[in-house]
Each structure stands twice: as structure tokens, then as C-alpha cells.
Amino acid sequence: MRPSILRRLFRRVASTAALALVAATLSTVAAARPAAAAGGLEQVTGFGTNPGNLQMYEYAPAGLPANAPLVIALHGCTQTADAYYTHSGWPKYADLWGFAMVFPQTTSANNALSCFGWFDPAEDTRGKGEAASIVQMVEYAKQQYGSDARRVYVTGLSAGGGMTADLLAAYPDVFAGGSVASGLPAQCATSQSAASGCQTGPQKLTAAQWGDKVRGSYPGYSGPWPRVAIWQGTSDYTVYPANATALRDQWTDVWGIGQTPSATDTLPGNTTRSVYNDATGKPAVATYSVSGMGHGLAVGPGSGTGQCGSTAAYFLNTICSTYYTGVFWGLDRGTPGGGDQLPAPSGLRVTAITANSASLSWNAVPGAASYTVHRNGTKVASPTSTTYTDTGLTAGTAYQYTVTAVDGSGTPGTASPQVTATTTGGTPAQCFTATNYAHVTAGRAHTTGGYTYANGSNENMGLYNAFVTHTLRESPAGHFVIADSGCAT
């Protein structure tokens, strides 16, 4: 939606107009709990004094043990807690990895567009309004589920993303990590009139100035700081990509680690991941730039471990951001706060391939008792050495591998950057260079929501038109990947 359209809409919603982000964006544990809401959520009442006038919904898998993590998920404007529960993919990983969830909900009683007040000091600062209500929900859930206070995380989309950044700044003693999807840096705006400017281009501040906004949110606090994931579509014209840059500058400055990535790699959905390690070599900040994606939360429907969610308004079919966020936080490994995990093995490489096998090697990690090897997101081996040969593969097929070090207590560390091994044999690869329109017409790609995706790999090729050209490599038959940089056959 163009800014001019937004302005007309804002005028129609009177005093809440400048909230921006139309996008898409403690009592006791014995408090009353109504029957389950649609989609499996349960509403909780009486969770606290609730100064922000929010509603609390919760979800937890059956048999959840004590000391499990807790995740707070904040919806975007015009959305509901149930919509976020239904489409984001978070419940899948709550079941798979074992953690409880809280889905706060704001309503039109607070804001005509049901936006969280990320720009309002009366709502988004420590001890005030909606921020205080959300922390009351955290305290309630920690008591109810016996959650590990060291492993409480918050994530949000759009306005929920802006509130997430504010919560991380105001309550770094509560949250071990956060994930901001198509959102704003902490304290980007402190008034309604400044909110729209943050959307389309935040203030041109230095990293230190952005960091000062975090440090000023809880004066005197000296750490540890939350680990922050930042998700952004390159074609987002509601919350511009400059916000992701500002978020990166802000949180790397808070961590004192500079703005040069420690590692950069490519993920599915035409996503570029850049990781910024702390002084001990552990990831502190990560950015995920999804090429061609507009405004919304990245989802990747499917039944695989790394696939999740369902498409809907502002839930965009590109990559399962929920999976990669959970891995970044360490939810798949049960690591307290992600702070005591071994670093990622370096130097992962493919040393040999045949028609049905791929051999890997990597550099040793001090303190590692063993390693886990994942193929296409699924664990396939736990070698004690720094080499492994994966067998029983299909000829002429590409496989993606990562390796994680495991300490003597069985706690896995950070996953390595991904490498690809393509087995020999099979049908020779073919390459096709054409416009997106021609690729779709020829059956090599398909369209969703005005964007083009390669058949098989589902890589985002950009807008569906005759003006964007890509080279696609087919191998095996019917599986296409973008090969613009070179197409070996």
C-alpha cells in the first residue's frame, strides 16, 4: 500500500492515524481460563493488573516438562492472536521442541487498526502500558508452566516487531532473545507524528546513536543482552529495508561487535543470512534478507522439519522464518539462552562425491565430544571425528549439509554455514535462460501473490513479468534452481 493511500486511511481512523504499520502487519496461577479458542488457543484472564488493556492467549503441548523455554509472539496490525497462531508455524515447533507460548492481543479498543503501540512511550517503555502487560503475561506463564527464566524469547511482525524491539530494550533482564520481522528499531519513534517516518526511512543515526536508544531504555543495565534475529523483505514498501539496517546497527552496537558480519550464507527462499558473533564466537545478531519479499512474515508451508506455516494476508510463502529463528535462539537444542553453546564448526567442505555418496570434513571445535550432521535440515549422523561420508543418496541430486558440535553433556552448539553437495550421474542438468513470464509459461516456475517461484526448489525469482530474467538449472528432472552466476551442466 503506497504512503498516499496510507495517509488517506489514517485520516479515516482519527487519532490513531499515525500509528503506521497498517501493514500487515499478576494475579495467581489459579486465574480463570475460558474454554479453548479457535485454533487451539486458550484465553487467560486475571494475569495481572494489565495496564495496557491487552488480551492473553496461550498454547503449550501436552506433557510439557518444567524448565522448558517460553516464547511470546506478537501479531501485526489488523491481525489477531489466533491468526498468528494459525499461520506463523510457531505451534509446530512448540510441539516438536517442547516450549510454551503466549500470544498477546491488542484490539480496536486500544487502536482502530489493532496495532501494538510501538511508538508510544506510554505503551512501549519499561513499566508502562502494553509493555508492562506483556511482561505480566510472561510472569504468569513462567509460574504456570515452570518455564526457565533464562529462556524467554519474544517475536513479532510489523507493529508487533516494533514492540518486540522495544521490549528487548526495556526488558533485557526478561528476554534472552528476540526476532523482529518487518519491524522497526527500538525507540525509532516516540510520538504518533514520527511513526510514519520510521516506516519509510528511519532517522539516519550512527550505530552508537541507535545503541544509545537501547541503553537509555533501561539505564544502568549492563548485560547480558538479548540475541536478536532480524527478518526483512527487500521489496517491503510498508516498512522499508532501511529499518533492518538500523536494527542491525543498533543491536551490534549494544553488543559491541561492529557491523561487519562474521559469516554470510544463503538459505532457501532466496534468503541471505548474515551472522554477527560476540567476542566468544557465538552468534549475537543475525539478519535474514529475503530477496523480492514484500511486507509480512516469511513462511514455508510443508511437512519437513524446516518447513512451517500457511499463506494468508501478510504470511508470505518464501522460507520458514520461525524454524530459523528457533534454531538461532537454540530452541531445537535446549540451550539456556543460547549463551553456553559451542561455536559453529568452521571449514565445512565437500571432499568427495559419487553417484550415491558425499564426503564431508570440517575443523575441530575445542570442547566438542561429538558432532551432528544434518542433511536438508534432518539429522543423519553423530560422528566423533571431523569427517563423515553420507551414503545411499540419489544420483544427480543436490543435498545441503550443516554440522554442529556437541559438548560432553550432550548439548549441541551453533550450526555451521550450509554447504551443498551434488551427486554425480543421473540425468544431465539442463539450463534455461528466460524471463519470469516465459519460465512460468514453459512450466519451469509458478506464481503466488504476484511473485514467481522456481518449481522444485521454490526459490523466489521476483515479480511475475517479462522484464525480470533468470537462468534456471534443472537437476533432477522437474527440480529447478536459480543459476544466474553460472550454470554448469
| Residue corresponding to grid cell 516456475 | 445
Instruction: Indicate the angle between helix axes 159-170 and 207-215, nearest 10 degrees.
Output: 70
Strand residue runs (E) in 182-259: 227-233
Alpha carbon distance 444, 435 (integer Å): 11
What region, left, alpha or beta, does residue 105 occupy, with left being phi > 0 and alpha being psi -120 to 50 degrees?
A: beta
Kindly state the DSSP code that residue 312 receives in the 8-state scheme: B
Helix (H, G, I), strand (E, B) or coil at 421: strand
**78 with 315: CB under 8 angstroms?**
no
Of the candidates 424, 444, 435, 428, the residue with the CA atom closest to the CA atom of residue 469? 435
Neighbouring residues of 306: CB distance < 8 A, sequence distance ≥ 6:
268, 300, 320, 323, 324, 376, 377
Distance CA 294, CA 236 (A): 4
The distance of Cα 174 from the centroid of its chain, to the nearest Å, equals: 19
**Active-site residue set:** 158
CB atoms within 10 A of CB 2: 9
**Which of 292, 331, 285, 287 is closest to 308 using CA atoms?**
331
460's CB contacts (< 8 A; 6+ apart) are 269, 270, 290, 291, 292, 293, 318, 451, 452, 453
Nearest to 183 by CA among 117, 241, 113: 241
Residue pair 234/293 in contact (Cβ under 8 Å)? The answer is yes
Please report, for residues 297, 310, 432, 442, the alpha-carbon distance to residue 471 in angstroms, rounded to integers and kept in the order given.
27, 28, 5, 13
Closest CA to 416 of 427, 405, 426, 406: 405
Residue 370 in grid coordinates: 561429538
Distance of CA 2 to the CA centre of its chain: 25
Amino acid identity of residue 460, one-letter, is N
Rounded Cα gap, residues 230 and 185, in angstroms: 10
